[in-house]
């Protein structure tokens, strides 16, 4: 509008100087040219800087291999990566990128997955291991069976999710868009008001021919009432900057979703970033989230006169023929410690109590107090150790050999690495934590004590998890639910923020609003830190955009002209407008330097 007005008045005053539109003193061709130049420069720099916020997507797209080496009819063929079909056998050599998702059939190697998951160390791959498209094979050669190709690969799904998140709008952005849309109409109305005021009264009351432009040695001279009023009106149109208001939020959201993707944190939309900053309570599922989801041997406590290795070996021999998860854990622990685990000569499971076995002439019992009592053994001397283990949420089993108590073996669902560290970081961020589990309260409280969780929600059936989330929300809490994304799906969907952890390759199928590619619990902290840093940038951008317009529009309208006799030229107004937009994007780019504390940042 400003450029058009300046050009039109220039044409009229050039060909019809006596028409009453300011005459020769009100020819603004140079203003129109410089306005155009500054606006184009500003848009170019804005596009350049905004393009850098999409660097995460470009990095991911560069990971996509273009060719694959497949075995068909017993012969090796090199084909385009998009031509690989599910079920094809694909060969990968050292230094090559994996073209599609699959499962290793043969060979051994270490694969660098840092570009997708943020995992810094190469991950060992052997038969049965899953591999992902775009990751880099480091050392060995191997073959794998393609399971997901084309748009179904993990890399393609991640790119699609990041693109969708960057295109989505947060609630705060919708407000900014509404303000920017009405702002344009308001500025045009204000420019008309400025023209009318200076044309009817302001020029006569305040105009001084010795007035000058800001940052210019020249003076206005006898410009005439129409030319002066039009000059200030055009300046108001040009100096106002709805662009800065409109781009304050999306530029930061694009940078934030890209930054999250760098660390294996996928926000499904800009609304997830905003929601994360409002969370005050984090509910963590126990099994598979805080813990490994499978029991492990935690303690082997021999009775006097019995070596711990023998106690564990006897327990393993008794359980080697069992399919019970606790038995499998005992056998696995014995083999990991290099103990021979032979099959017993005879074996009998006693439902609800334990097992009984004969091995090399010895009678082995493994089980509860009740089993020992049934076989005439007194367990009173072990009661103190039994209760101590059970108070820690462990399952304690008694081992007896040839009618004598040999010791205790305890199993528990062990914590994942960094669980304590992650919960402590959440508490430092001012978030209350809760554990949600179907386990008994004693076990849940033991796990909660180990990791430092504030609140225990125990003995909750899977279909009751949604009700527990709703109950917390009814207390006025903003709840984030962290789960494995499968049996926790309803609770993840109901929470204000659902975080699906350790999603691996099925990222598009998750219910969560935030998807963590790895099972590293510290990524929960990274998600909250990235979200908070992003919203800080949004608020900084909006503050700058509104502050600029609040200060610049009165200056351009001549509000201070009666005191200083200075006028903002349209050219300077255009430069200020371009700088305003550029400052917003440059401030957003500072987010590229952000590193979450959980990833080694300050």
- Judge whether 311 and 333 are in contact, CB under 8 Å: no
pTM beyond 0.85: no
CB atoms within 10 A of CB 458: 18
- With a CB cutoff of 8 Å and minimum separation 6, the contacts of 376 are 403
Q: Which of the given ranges, 164-168, 313-317, 500-504, 572-576, has the highest pLDDT on average? A: 313-317
Averaged over 574-578, what is the pLDDT?
Answer: 78
Give the dihedral of Cα atoms 282, 287, 290, 291; nearest 10 deg: 170
The total number of residues written for the chain in this structure: 602
Each domain of the chain, given as residue ranges in start order, spans: 85-148, 256-291+416-530, 294-414
Q: Which of the given ranges, 53-57, 377-381, 501-505, has the highest pLDDT on average? A: 377-381
For the 256-291+416-530 domain, the top CATH level (class) is: alpha beta
Reported as a single tens digit per residue, the pLDDT across 448-476 is 888 999 899 987 876 788 889 999 999 99
The pLDDT of residue 46 is above 50: yes
CA dist 55 and 257 (Å) reads 11
Averaged over 118-132, what is the pLDDT?
Answer: 80
CA dist 538 and 255 (Å) reads 11
- Judge whether 517 and 266 are in contact, CB under 8 Å: yes
CA dist 164 and 458 (Å) reads 37
Of the candidates 366, 362, 288, the one whose C-alpha atom is nearest the C-alpha of residue 322 is 366
Pick the range with the lowest mean pLDDT from 71-85, 497-511, 546-560, 579-593: 497-511
Print burial letters for 530-539: b (CB count within 10 Å at least 16), e (below 16): bbbbbbebbe
Q: What average pLDDT is seen over the chain?
A: 82
CA dist 261 and 57 (Å) reads 9
Q: Is 285 a catalytic residue?
A: yes
Which of 88, 101, 285, 439 is labelled catalytic?
Answer: 285
Averaged over 226-248, what is the pLDDT?
Answer: 79
| Angle between helices 225-239 and 570-589 in degrees, nearest 10 | 10
Q: How is domain 294-414 classified at the CATH fold level?
A: Calcium-transporting ATPase, cytoplasmic domain N (3.40.1110)
Q: Does domain 85-148 have CATH number 2.70.150.10?
A: yes
Identical fold at 256-291+416-530 and 294-414? Answer: no
Q: Quote the pLDDT of residue 307.
A: 92
The residue to which tokens 């206005």 are assigned: 220
Question: What are residue 6's phi and psi, to 5 degrees?
Answer: -60, -45
């Amino acid at each position: 509008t400003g450029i058009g007005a300046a050009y039109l008045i220039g044409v009229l005053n050039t060909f019809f100087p006596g028409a009453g539109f300011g005459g020769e003193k009100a020819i603004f061709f140079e203003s129109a040219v410089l306005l155009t130049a500054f606006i184009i420069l500003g848009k170019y720099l804005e596009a350049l800087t905004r393009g850098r916020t999409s660097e995460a997507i470009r990095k991911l797209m560069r990971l996509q291999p273009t060719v694959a080496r497949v075995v068909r009819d017993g012969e090796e063929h090199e084909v385009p990566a998009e031509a690989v079909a599910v079920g094809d056998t694909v060969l990968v050599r050292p230094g090559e990128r994996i073209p599609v998702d699959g499962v290793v059939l043969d060979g051994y190697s270490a694969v660098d997955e840092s570009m997708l998951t943020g995992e810094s160390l190469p991950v060992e791959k052997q038969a049965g291991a899953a591999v992902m498209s775009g990751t880099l094979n480091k050392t060995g050669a191997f073959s794998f069976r393609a399971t997901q190709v084309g748009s179904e690969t993990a890399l393609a799904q991640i790119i699609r999710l990041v693109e969708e998140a960057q295109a989505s709008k947060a609630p705060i952005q919708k407000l900014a868009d509404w303000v920017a849309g009405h702002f344009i109409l308001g500025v045009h109305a204000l420019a008309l008001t400025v023209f009318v005021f200076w044309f009817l009264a302001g020029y006569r009351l305040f105009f001084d021919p010795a007035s000058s432009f800001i940052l210019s040695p020249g003076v206005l001279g006898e410009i005439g009432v129409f030319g002066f009023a039009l000059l200030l009106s055009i300046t108001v149109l040009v100096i106002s900057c709805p662009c800065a208001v409109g781009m304050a939020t999306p530029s930061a959201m694009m940078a934030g979703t890209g930054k999250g993707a760098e660390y294996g944190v996928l926000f499904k939309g800009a609304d997830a970033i905003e929601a994360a900053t409002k969370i005050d309570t984090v509910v963590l599922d126990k099994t598979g989230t805080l813990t490994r989801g499978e029991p492990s041997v935690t303690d082997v406590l021999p009775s006097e006169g019995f070596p711990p290795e023998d106690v564990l070996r006897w327990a393993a021999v008794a359980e080697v023929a069992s399919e019970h998860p606790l038995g499998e854990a005992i056998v696995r622990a014995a083999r990991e410690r290099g103990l021979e685990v032979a099959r017993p000569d005879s074996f009998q499971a006693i439902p609800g109590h334990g097992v009984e076995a004969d091995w090399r002439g010895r009678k082995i019992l493994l089980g509860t107090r009740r089993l020992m009592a049934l076989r005439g053994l007194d367990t009173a001397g072990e009661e103190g150790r039994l209760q101590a283990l059970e108070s820690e949420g462990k399952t304690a089993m008694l081992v007896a050999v040839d009618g004598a108590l040999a010791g205790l073996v305890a199993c528990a669902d062990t914590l994942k690495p960094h669980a304590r560290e992650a919960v402590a970081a959440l508490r430092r961020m001012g978030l209350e934590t809760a554990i949600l589990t179907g386990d008994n309260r004693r076990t849940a409280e033991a796990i909660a004590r180990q990791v430092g969780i504030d609140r225990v929600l125990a003995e909750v059936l899977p279909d009751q998890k949604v009700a527990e989330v709703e109950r917390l929300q009814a207390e006025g809490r903003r709840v984030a639910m962290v789960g494995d994304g499968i049996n926790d799906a309803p609770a993840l969907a109901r929470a204000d923020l659902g975080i699906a952890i350790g999603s691996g390759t099925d990222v598009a199928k998750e219910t969560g609003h935030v998807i963590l590619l790895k099972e590293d619990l510290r990524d929960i902290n990274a998600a909250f830190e990235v979200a908070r840093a992003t919203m800080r940038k949004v608020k900084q951008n909006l503050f700058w955009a509104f502050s600029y317009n609040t200060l610049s529009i009165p200056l351009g309208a001549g509000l201070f002209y009666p005191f200083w006799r200075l006028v903002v030229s349209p050219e300077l107004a255009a430069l200020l407008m371009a700088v305003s937009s550029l400052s917003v994007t440059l401030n957003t780019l500072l987010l590229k330097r952000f590193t979450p504390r959980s990833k080694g940042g300050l």
